[in-house]
C-alpha cells in the first residue's frame, strides 16, 4: 500500500515481527521457511519485553472499553491463522 493510501491513525511497528524474524519465516535468509511453531516461539519471545507489554496493555484496555483496533500484516502473509496478527490478538485478549 502506498503511504498516501494509508488510513490508520497509529502504527506500532514494534508489535510486528522483527525484520529478521520476518525474513527467516519466509526463507529469505538462504534457508528454508521456518515452521509455524518456531515462528510462534520467536515472535512471542520478541514480544516479551516491557515496551511491548505496555503497548499491548493499552490496546487491551481500548478493546475492553469497546474500542476497535485493526491488526495488519505484510502482503506476504496468506494464512491469517499462522500470522503474528492471530498471536497478537490472543495476547491482547488475554489481558
Residue labelled with grid coordinates 510462534: 40
What kind and span of H or E run contains 80? none
Q: At what angle do helices 50-64 and 84-93 cross, to 10 degrees?
A: 70
Question: For residue 3, what pLDDT is reported?
Answer: 65
Cα distance between residue 95 and residue 23, in whole Å: 29
Q: Above pLDDT 70, what percent of the chain?
A: 97
Q: Which of 25-34, 52-61, 75-84, 85-94 has the lowest mean pLDDT?
A: 75-84
Q: Structure pTM?
A: 0.86
Which of 38, 12, 24 is CA-nearest to residue 76?
24
3-24 pLDDT, tens digit each: 677 777 888 999 999 999 999 9
Between 76 and 91, the higher pLDDT residue: 91
Amino acid at each position: 500500500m502506498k503511504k498516501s493510501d494509508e488510513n490508520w491513525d497509529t502504527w506500532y511497528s514494534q508489535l510486528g515481527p522483527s525484520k529478521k524474524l520476518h525474513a527467516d519465516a519466509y526463507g529469505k535468509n538462504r534457508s528454508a521457511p521456518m515452521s509455524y511453531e518456531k515462528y510462534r516461539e520467536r515472535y512471542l519471545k520478541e514480544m516479551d519485553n516491557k515496551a511491548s507489554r505496555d503497548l499491548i496493555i493499552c490496546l487491551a484496555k481500548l478493546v475492553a472499553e469497546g474500542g476497535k483496533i485493526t491488526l495488519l500484516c505484510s502482503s506476504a502473509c496468506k494464512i491469517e491463522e499462522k500470522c503474528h496478527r492471530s498471536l497478537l490478538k490472543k495476547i491482547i485478549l488475554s489481558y
